[in-house]
Amino acid sequence: MSTAELGIAASTIWVVLAAILVLFMQAGFAFLEAGLTRMKNVGHIAAKNVLILGVVSIVYYLVGFGIAFGDGGGGLVGGSGFVPSVDQLLAIGAEPFSWFGSVPGAAGYLFEVAFAAVSLAIVWGAMAERTRLWVYLAFGVVFTLLYSVVSHWVWSPDGWLYTKGMQDFAGSTVVHYQGALAGLAGALLLGPRIGKFVDGKPQPIPGHNMAFTTLGVIILWFGWFGFNPGSTLSVDFGGVGFFAYVALNTNLAASAGVLGALTASWIVIKKPDLSMMLNGAIAALVAITAACAFVAPWAAIVIGFVAGVIVVLGSLLVERVGIDDPVGALAAHGMSGVWGTLALGFLTVPELADKLETGRGGLLYGGGFHQLGIQALGLVAVGAFTFTASFLVLWLMKVTVGIRTEPHVEGMGLDVSEHGMWGYPEFYIPVPGGYGTEHGHRLVSHHPRDAPASAPAPVHG
């Protein structure tokens, strides 16, 4: 085996391992979201995270990978590589996926489809506990296509934002900001959960298991070492072992995010709220995702700490304006994604921009406002496209078939109504002298814990 072949083999092993870490992040999302929601919806939360992998993997293979990274297309969308053949997936650095010059096309697909799945998981977090299951299937197909288009803009060598020099190393904009925008469209069209707002004032609907949430965040933190360092897509991109530098910045930012959220919650809420600390870690990981390869370690700490503050203040703001986001996705992924993208306009080290051949140095290093302007342009373009398209598609679904569960279904829980099963069977299975009665194939719980809230039901789609 030649030296070149050894390099390809090492890079392929690294990219596949990183892809596995990113795919495992779906377990993190499942625990995070299940913990922050109520026990009557735990099975539904778990089911949708499995469904994400099923939908995204197939759609991305058929068309998404070609849209995102196929050669041709004029900078707006990939123009080749749809339903890739065996030869195309085994080729290295050849059309239609010439961008993947260090690994086979199959390794590139596996890594990139894992990113698409993460972005879709963010969408569903903001729509949790009141969305019909079929919406996850139908909109999951649509969102995978939208995600692929934006991926081409920012990451493909002929993408129009890439050629302008936009810096987004691993997806603060492409993955997280975009997922939050679609989630915002869904949350607005769905309306809040029953009982979330009474006389316009937000009411706490606590999650049922903070240990689950903590486990989910730790899994996501662990998986992020595939997410960011893996985006080198080779063992020698930026220099041999450069991915270790990316990993270091990733960990520093996440750690600072916990401290930033702790500080902000202690000052604003008067308590060191655990859920805020956990979302602080996620927000910091989101923010550093764009910047991890472009900034100095001290800047990674600053980016992470500020993201931790943003997620606390942002979550409170989202509630104040009347939007129900059960898991805090809009602040953790949306607002923090914006911050991480814009931070590069200030903090990019010129030598790193030159090394990676992407954009320029930041304002702090004498680079002027050019990079900041490009970053802002990317946010505006991606925001307008993703939110408008997502809102339109979900609105059409709402007015035709309906996207929200009925009030009695929401009160009973989506585990039973959507799946005919329970996340916690011992609380719901009818037994002599128990709490439930079966009517046909659907269980109606009579336990007072599960009675629908007395607040007026929102308008349904």
* CATH fold label, 3-400: Ammonium transporter fold (1.10.3430)
Domain spans, the chain: 3-400
CB 253 within 8 A of CB 281: no
pLDDT in tens, 405-433: 999 999 989 988 888 888 887 666 665 55
Query: What does R_g of the chain's alpha carbons equal in angstroms?
Result: 22
CB 358 within 8 A of CB 156: no
pLDDT at 416: 84
Q: Exposed, middle or buried by CB within 10 Å (0-12, 13-18, 19+), for 126? A: buried
Q: Rounded to an integer, what is the distance from CA 98 to the centroid of its chain?
A: 27
How far is 189 from 201, CA to CA, in rounded Å? 19
How far is 449 from 461, CA to CA, in rounded Å? 26
pLDDT in tens, 134-192: 999 999 999 999 999 999 999 999 999 999 999 999 999 999 999 999 999 999 999 99
pLDDT in tens, 222-246: 999 999 999 999 999 999 999 999 9
Closest CA to 235 of 9, 432, 10: 10
What's the chain's average pLDDT? 92
Closest CA to 61 of 117, 15, 128: 117
Angle of the 210-227 helix axis to the 274-291 helix axis, nearest 10: 10
Three-class secondary structure of residue 198 per DSSP: strand
Statement: residue 445 has pLDDT above 50: no
Considering only the C-alpha atoms of the chain, give the largest distance between any 2 of them, rounded to a whole number of Å: 75
How would residue 343 be classed by pLDDT, with cut points 50, 70 and 90? very high
**DSSP H helix total and E strand total for the chain:** 18, 4
Which tokens sit at 164?
Answer: 């302008």
pTM of the predicted model as reported, rounded to 2 decimal places:
0.92
Tell me the mean pLDDT in the region 338-350. Answer: 98
- DSSP states of 62-110: IIIHHHHH-S-STTTS--S-SS--HHHHH-BS-TT-TT--SSBHHHHHH
Statement: residue 297 has pLDDT above 60: yes
How would residue 1 be classed by pLDDT, with cut points 50, 70 and 90? confident
Residue 129 backbone zone (phi > 0: left; psi -120 to 50: alpha; other: beta)? left
How far is 9 from 2, CA to CA, in rounded Å? 10
